[in-house]
Chain A
Amino acid sequence: MLNKLAIGGIKHRLRDYSVLFSGLMIAASIFYMFLSLALNKAFLKSNSPAQATAFIFGFGIVLLAIITIVYINYANKFLLSMRQKEYGMFMMLGAKSSKISKMIFVETFAIGAIATAVGSLIGIGITGFVGDLLIKNMDMQVSHFNSFYLPALLWTFVFFIVIFIFSALRNSISLRFTKVMTLLNMDSQPTKLKRNNAWTIIQSILGVILLAIGYWCMVKMGKDATFIFLGVPVALFTIVAGTYFVINSLTTTIINLLKRNTSFSQKGLNNFTLSQLNFRIADYTKILSMVSIMFALALGAITVGLGFRQQIDTVANGQNYYDASIRNINNKEQNLVDKIDHKKLTVYEFKNTKKFTYYRNSDLESQGFTYNKFSKSMISKEVPTHKSNPSVAFQLQNTIPVDEAAPQAKFVSDAKFDSLSGKPETMTFVKTDSFKNNLSTFKKISEIQAARYPAYKQFGGDKYSVYKNINSFFSGLEFMGFFLGIAFLAMLASCLMFKILSGAAGDVKRYNMLYKIGTRQRSLRQTINKEIAVLFSVPAVLGIVHVLVGLQMFKPLLYKPYMHIEVPFLIFFVLYLGYYFITRYLYKKIVLK
């Protein structure tokens, strides 16, 4: 009978349960996604040039495990809060506490187990989908990537089952030892807020100092790679703790300052919104700090991932000025070149002999020959038109495979060139306004050239071949960055959403009261929008600062870590905004009539 009643209780709160259930499923699927990369040693080895990758992923697992435990803890509290009143009533009517604690154990564990199983399946699906999407759409070359990876699946199960056994035990123990009256009146337990100003100030200062230490570590790691083994744990600790203190103290200080400004606070519902936030931040500090760290990790991963992508272009463009060099251009190649808009062609005639590769001096003087010159970390464009420049002959000869080219290049007059024996050949250099936009054409040209001159297959001196090589090298890193970024973002958003929604039931009364005393629906909606916007933006702002500083760590790996940073930020912003809108929609559904 009691079991029947308990199931009936679930049916009544189906919406709350579906929020809980989907949250747990997302957690399980993200965990699986992460493990499918982190545990796959072959994948890590073949796709990352950095030695420390396995180590960083190890830390990632620890971090994700902690986040997941905290997350499930919240979910569990939500579950208990939904059930305790009902179970309290059963106990009041004479149900034995041992029976009740057994029921909550079974309920917690069953929800956990089902969510884990379904979540893992979804995880396999998402891993495959996201993997395919990234690999196909972004021209990535990734090896040893499996959407189904058994060790990851097993570990996900083990991890979640263990946590849920603990949660179930905790729930059943806490129900057994809580007084019936407390259970029945749990809803009306008041929230208390007492603030100690001195402690707030100490926390603000401590938070800023800890963040400064963490930031210093990240900058230092960027300069000195050996520092990484000490730097990562120190930065991890100080930044997590610093974020906590800053959110707990600084934000409330700002809110209180705004409250004191009566011309702002005593306008419409502003004071209500500020007070709601003040109470929330005290209650939300832990989750906001966690979200802020995850936000930084997710945004950081996507930024670094895209950074690697730009690296591909930068290196390819840096190595070769010309987008293609076509030896003895034929009709097919000519047709391909003709189709390209906005191009500049430079044609050099040459004759290859045993001792020298001869070029026409007139070609050089009339057209010049552009190449990229490296000096430290700068690339500058050089356009010599005179043979006295020592590099020009070398650069020109570089377009001919090594074993075919003569030991030296020479510029000669037209008369001399014509008189030389040897087969006259041409090299057509193509420069467009964007190598990337014409990638498919250059790929075709490169393939035709390799078919006509097999030596080019090995040589790989043209820009497309360089691009292909670097692409396969960096794609792994890029893929990991993107994949992790999306995984963390989904986890982060569901965490925050879950926390906000789980508190919504307690807000119904407040909004109802505001409605009764004559607040327009529009004003109520506005105050909800503002409140949730602040809750979303506090961790976002801190997270962005973490990322901007954290990119310093990648200076040795990325040529320009801050280049085109707006792209990942924009992608992230759009996704994050999506979660914000979903959360406020669901929240309003619960809170407003």
Chain B
Amino acid sequence: MTKIVEVKNIEKIYGKANEKQFKALSDVNFEVQPGEFVGIMGASGSGKTTLLNILSTLDTATSGEVKIAGEDITKLKNNEMADFRANKIGFIFQDFNLLENLTAYENIALPLALQNTSPKKIKPAVDSISAKLGLTEILNHYPTELSGGQKQRVAAARALVHNPSIIFGDEPTGALDSKSARALMDTMTKVNKEDNVSILLVTHDPFSASFCDRILFIKDGEIGQELKKEEHSRGEFYQEILDSLGTFAE
């Protein structure tokens, strides 16, 4: 079976050769299997956002190979990268990144419209994902009229509506209160388990991370420890993450 994410020896160096250089990522290797829910944890400045940017083609690696759904994204040209993001990836950002001049419905429909899906097919797709995420009642509202939790669920619906190969979440619970954060993580777990959607989450929050199947810890640009949930309950896994963070930080 094709791996959803395949990262081999990637390195990211900032700064030119004759200037002072900074290595943000060094020799990063990992894989994500179809239907897996993987978390990447690390402190600020550990390189997790750089890694996510490279995986999502927003940035390029200095060296190494990145394959998403079997396609080597390091060789893509500008337009191909844009198309790749539009077709294969769903994004959920910390600050929602909804367009405030579009209603919730229009925000969710945007990725489909970008792919020139016919309007006849757009409506059922938006309606179905909205129903799943409990957004049906608020589809005609503008983002400014929604709570943080609702906004993030709209963002999740937008990330899912075009059936991408993988969802990338960049601290998706970062701007939410604990109740909304929990609801969002429950939703993500639900789509992961029921629809077999692969999810890669970048976070520094142990609570959000405890919903994942597997956690990769990143520090100073290198992947150190790996933690698997396996048969543990979420509560136990949470405790395990906290313990690991304690030892990993030292």
CB–CB B142/A268 < 8 A: no
Within the complex, the shortest CB–CB distance from B76 to chain A, in Å, comes to 12
From B79-87, B189-197, B220-228, give the one contacting chain A: B79-87
CB–CB B99/A192 < 8 A: no
Question: Quick check: is B111 within 8 A (CB to CB) of the other chain?
Answer: yes
From A86-94, A172-180, A271-279, give the one contacting chain B: A271-279
Q: Within residues 457 to 515 of chain A, which ones have a CB less than 8 A from any CB in chain B?
A: 509-510, 513-515
Question: Quick check: is A99 within 8 A (CB to CB) of the other chain?
Answer: no
Residues of chain A lying within 8 A (CB to CB) of residue B85:
516-518
CB–CB B106/A517 < 8 A: no
- Tell me the complex Cα distance, A27–B35, Å: 62
From A46-54, A259-267, A377-385, A569-577, give the one contacting chain B: A259-267
Question: Quick check: is A198 within 8 A (CB to CB) of the other chain?
Answer: no
Q: Mark B residues whose CB is within 8 Å of A.
A: 56, 58, 78-79, 82-87, 89, 91, 93, 97, 99-102, 106, 109-114, 116, 119, 122-123, 142-144, 158
Residues of chain A lying within 8 A (CB to CB) of residue B84:
518
CB–CB A519/B114 < 8 A: yes
- When A and B form their complex, which 7 residue pairs have the shortest distance between CB atoms, in order from nearest? A518-B86, A518-B85, A275-B101, A190-B144, A262-B119, A266-B119, A520-B82
Within the complex, the shortest CB–CB distance from A158 to chain B, in Å, comes to 42
Question: Quick check: is A521 within 8 A (CB to CB) of the other chain?
Answer: yes
Residues of chain A lying within 8 A (CB to CB) of residue B79:
520-522
- Tell me the complex Cα distance, A268–B143, Å: 21
- Tell me the complex Cα distance, A523–B110, Å: 13
Best-buried of B78, B85, B114 by chain A (most CB within 10 Å): B114
Q: Which residue of B lies closest to A263 (CB)?
A: B119
CB–CB A513/B114 < 8 A: no
Residues of chain B lying within 8 A (CB to CB) of residue A523:
114
Question: Quick check: is A269 within 8 A (CB to CB) of the other chain?
Answer: yes
Choose one: A193, A271, A520, A521; the contact of B113 (CB below 8 Å): A271
Within the complex, the shortest CB–CB distance from B18 to chain A, in Å, comes to 25
Question: Quick check: is A330 within 8 A (CB to CB) of the other chain?
Answer: no
| Known A518-B87, A521-B82: A271·B144 in contact at CB below 8 Å | no
Best-buried of A263, A268, A270, A271 by chain B (most CB within 10 Å): A271
Choose one: B91, B93, B101, B109; the contact of A266 (CB below 8 Å): B109
Question: Quick check: is A191 within 8 A (CB to CB) of the other chain?
Answer: yes
Residues of chain B lying within 8 A (CB to CB) of residue A271:
102, 106, 109-110, 113
Supply 6 further A-B pairs (C-beta < 8 A) apart from A262-B123, A266-B113: A267-B113, A271-B106, A515-B82, A517-B86, A518-B83, A520-B82
Q: Which residue of B lies closest to A515 (CB)?
A: B82
CB–CB B144/A272 < 8 A: no
Within the complex, the shortest CB–CB distance from A568 to chain B, in Å, comes to 37
Q: Which residue of A lies closest to B158 (CB)?
A: A517
Within the complex, the shortest CB–CB distance from B99 to chain A, in Å, comes to 6
- Tell me the complex Cα distance, A180–B112, Å: 42
CB–CB B111/A518 < 8 A: yes
Question: Would you give 18 A-B contacts (Cβ < 8 Å), ordered by A?
Answer: A193-B101, A262-B123, A266-B109, A268-B114, A271-B106, A272-B102, A275-B106, A509-B97, A517-B86, A518-B82, A518-B84, A518-B114, A519-B86, A519-B114, A520-B83, A521-B79, A521-B82, A523-B114
Best-buried of B56, B91, B119 by chain A (most CB within 10 Å): B119
Residues of chain A lying within 8 A (CB to CB) of residue B110:
271-272, 517
Within the complex, the shortest CB–CB distance from B108 to chain A, in Å, comes to 12
A-B contact count (CB 8 A): 85
Residues of chain B lying within 8 A (CB to CB) of residue A266:
109, 112-113, 119, 122
CB–CB B82/A275 < 8 A: no
- Tell me the complex Cα distance, A333–B79, Å: 72
CB–CB A517/B114 < 8 A: yes
- Tell me the complex Cα distance, A520–B98, Å: 18
Q: Which residue of B lies closest to A261 (CB)?
A: B119
Q: Which residue of A lies closest to B57 (CB)?
A: A518
CB–CB A269/B113 < 8 A: yes
- Tell me the complex Cα distance, A516–B84, Å: 11
- Tell me the complex Cα distance, A327–B122, Å: 85
Residues of chain A lying within 8 A (CB to CB) of residue B111:
517-518
Q: Which residue of B lies closest to A262 (CB)?
A: B119
Residues of chain B lying within 8 A (CB to CB) of residue A192:
144
Within the complex, the shortest CB–CB distance from A527 to chain B, in Å, comes to 11
Within the complex, the shortest CB–CB distance from A523 to chain B, in Å, comes to 8
| Known A267-B116, A268-B114, A275-B102: A519·B109 in contact at CB below 8 Å | no
Q: Which residue of A lies closest to B113 (CB)?
A: A266
CB–CB B114/A278 < 8 A: no
Residues of chain A lying within 8 A (CB to CB) of residue B78:
520-521
Residues of chain A lying within 8 A (CB to CB) of residue B112:
266
Q: Which residue of B lies closest to A512 (CB)?
A: B97
- Tell me the complex Cα distance, A517–B114, Å: 9
Within the complex, the shortest CB–CB distance from B162 to chain A, in Å, comes to 9
- Tell me the complex Cα distance, A48–B133, Å: 73
Within the complex, the shortest CB–CB distance from B55 to chain A, in Å, comes to 13
CB–CB A278/B101 < 8 A: yes
- Tell me the complex Cα distance, A403–B108, Å: 91
Best-buried of B89, B101, B109, B144 by chain A (most CB within 10 Å): B101
Within the complex, the shortest CB–CB distance from B84 to chain A, in Å, comes to 7
- Tell me the complex Cα distance, A191–B98, Å: 13
Within the complex, the shortest CB–CB distance from A325 to chain B, in Å, comes to 71
Residues of chain A lying within 8 A (CB to CB) of residue B93:
513, 516
Residues of chain B lying within 8 A (CB to CB) of residue A262:
119, 122-123
Choose one: B86, B87, B144; the contact of A191 (CB below 8 Å): B144
Residues of chain A lying within 8 A (CB to CB) of residue B86:
517-519
- Tell me the complex Cα distance, A192–B87, Å: 32
Within the complex, the shortest CB–CB distance from A268 to chain B, in Å, comes to 6
Residues of chain B lying within 8 A (CB to CB) of residue A279:
101
Within the complex, the shortest CB–CB distance from A297 to chain B, in Å, comes to 32
Residues of chain B lying within 8 A (CB to CB) of residue A193:
101, 142
CB–CB A191/B100 < 8 A: yes
Within the complex, the shortest CB–CB distance from B117 to chain A, in Å, comes to 8
Proximity string of chain A (271-297) to chain B, C-beta cutoff 8 Å, 1 when within and 0 when not: 110011011000000000000000000
Within the complex, the shortest CB–CB distance from B54 to chain A, in Å, comes to 14
Residues of chain A lying within 8 A (CB to CB) of residue B99:
272, 275, 510, 513-514
Q: Which residue of B lies closest to A280 (CB)?
A: B101
CB–CB B97/A516 < 8 A: yes
| Known A275-B106, A276-B101: A269·B119 in contact at CB below 8 Å | no
- Tell me the complex Cα distance, A521–B114, Å: 12
Within the complex, the shortest CB–CB distance from A257 to chain B, in Å, comes to 16
Residues of chain B lying within 8 A (CB to CB) of residue A520:
78-79, 82-83
- Tell me the complex Cα distance, A510–B99, Å: 6
- Tell me the complex Cα distance, A190–B144, Å: 7
Residues of chain A lying within 8 A (CB to CB) of residue B82:
515, 518-521
- Tell me the complex Cα distance, A212–B93, Å: 51
